[in-house]
Amino acid sequence: MTGRLSLVDVASVRTSLFKCLAEQPDALFVDLAGLSIEEPIALTVLSAVSRQAARWPGIPVLFCAPAGPVRRVLLGGTYRRLPLRVTVASARERVRADGRSLPSVIDDLLPVAGAPRHARRVATDACLRWDLPVLVGPACVIASELITNVMDHAGTMATLRISLLPRYVTIAVRDGSVVAPRRRSPDESGGRGLLLVEGMARSWGWLPVDGGKVVWASLGRVSRRSARRGRRV
């Protein structure tokens, strides 16, 4: 990020950084060395990005700022919880030292009748591979409904990605439509998809990407002992 940051820039910065998150990289480094602040409150956009990354896709986001006004503000009370490094190189070394990598299952699906069924198979295989059989049911429903929404409303290729995080399993579907998903009242023609997702997921949402969007949902992981007892941990 370079130039002077003011409140009028917040929306575009937020969208740009959310698009970076939607690509689901292993980590996101935000280089602030060339940034100056016109209105310090505009830096709240960095907090919004950090919160979104924690919810989904569950990757580390590190902000990189050398000594100067931006770093002094970020070390203050409002922003002190943001992960801050001096340079991008030091941020990269930090992530390497942590050794974080998200196990993921990724598949591309055509908008054809068998796509939701295939999505359920992918979700089942992922949950069993990670020894999380109790999540097979909800993961299958979410994956199937997100793919069905692509077929019904986007009509494009879809990329299904299921990832294992320390506390969650996330299910994300990328399509080629820029139209935001929206809940609607169920009727004879349908409308229950996102309501089912919302009812089963710990949280869900969507982010824009170039030429489309990603819709995601997360499920809380459970241990084998708690699964037998029917309790979430």
Q: Are residues 94 and 108 in the same domain?
A: no
Six-digit token string for 120: 């359920």
* 221 class by beta-carbon count within 10 Å (0-12 exposed, 13-18 middle, 19+ buried): buried
Q: Are residues 144 and 198 in the same domain?
A: yes
- Read off the CATH number of the domain in which 216 is found: 3.30.565.10
Q: Are residues 215 and 173 in the same domain?
A: yes
- 3-class DSSP state of 152: helix
Query: Does residue 223 have a pLDDT over 50?
Result: no
Q: Are residues 122 and 216 in the same domain?
A: yes
Q: Are residues 75 and 169 in the same domain?
A: no
pLDDT for residue 190: 57
Q: Are residues 135 and 221 in the same domain?
A: yes
Six-digit token string for 178: 């820029």
Q: Are residues 58 and 138 in the same domain?
A: no
Q: Please state the rounded mean pLDDT for residues 22-42.
A: 95
Q: Of 52, 79, 98, which one is at a domain's C-terminal end?
A: 98
Q: Are residues 144 and 82 in the same domain?
A: no
Residues 117-170: pLDDT tens digits? 999 999 999 999 999 999 999 999 999 999 999 999 899 999 999 999 989 999
Q: Of 98, 124, 149, which one is at a domain's C-terminal end?
A: 98
Q: Are residues 67 and 146 in the same domain?
A: no
65 in Cβ contact with 71 (< 8 Å): yes
Residues 168-201: pLDDT tens digits? 999 999 999 999 998 766 655 556 788 999 999 9
Lowest mean pLDDT among 75-79, 87-91, 159-163, 221-225: 221-225
Q: Are residues 76 and 111 in the same domain?
A: no
Give the range of the structural domain holding residue 222, as residue numbers without chain letter.
104-229
**Strand pairing report for 34-37 and 2-5:** parallel
**Strand pairing report for 203-209 and 212-220:** antiparallel
pTM, whole model, 2 decimals? 0.86
Number of domains in the chain: 2
At a CB cut-off of 8 Å and minimum separation 6, what does 112 contact?
Answer: 151
The residue that leads in pLDDT, 153 or 222, is: 153
- Read off the CATH number of the domain in which 20 is found: 3.30.750.24
Torsion angle defined by CA atoms of residues 219, 138, 192 and 48, in that order, rounded to the nearest 10 degrees: 10
124 in Cβ contact with 136 (< 8 Å): yes
pLDDT above 70 as % of the chain? 91
pLDDT for residue 232: 45
Q: Are residues 86 and 112 in the same domain?
A: no
Strands (E), 18-96: 28-31, 34-37, 61-64, 84-85
Q: Of 98, 132, 159, which one is at a domain's C-terminal end?
A: 98
Q: Are residues 120 and 225 in the same domain?
A: yes
Query: Does residue 85 have a pLDDT over 80?
Result: yes
